[in-house]
Amino acid sequence: MADQTLDAKGLQCPLPVLRARKALKTVPPGSTLTVEATDPGAPKDFAAFCEATGNRLASSVEEGGVYRFVIERCA
């Protein structure tokens, strides 16, 4: 279960990633942020975001057009 959740549904690139970056600042290391987004480019964007920031993309799933990402804050 996520420690925090961010609803980024309806937002287009780069807003979901920018909002996630801001939200992760409030998440303690070792905790998670779950992001829900509908932007079709989000899976690629969040994979690149996690690689660039040193955080771990714990899961990435799509259900009914909604992408759900669980990001573990490592840095």
- Which residues are identified as catalytic? 13
| Both structure tokens of 54 | 């040193």
- The residues, any chain, with a CB within 8 Å of residue 48's CB and separated by 6 or more, are none
Put residue 27 in one of left, alpha, beta given phi > 0 → left and psi -120 to 50 → alpha.
beta
Which amino acid type is present at position 35?
V
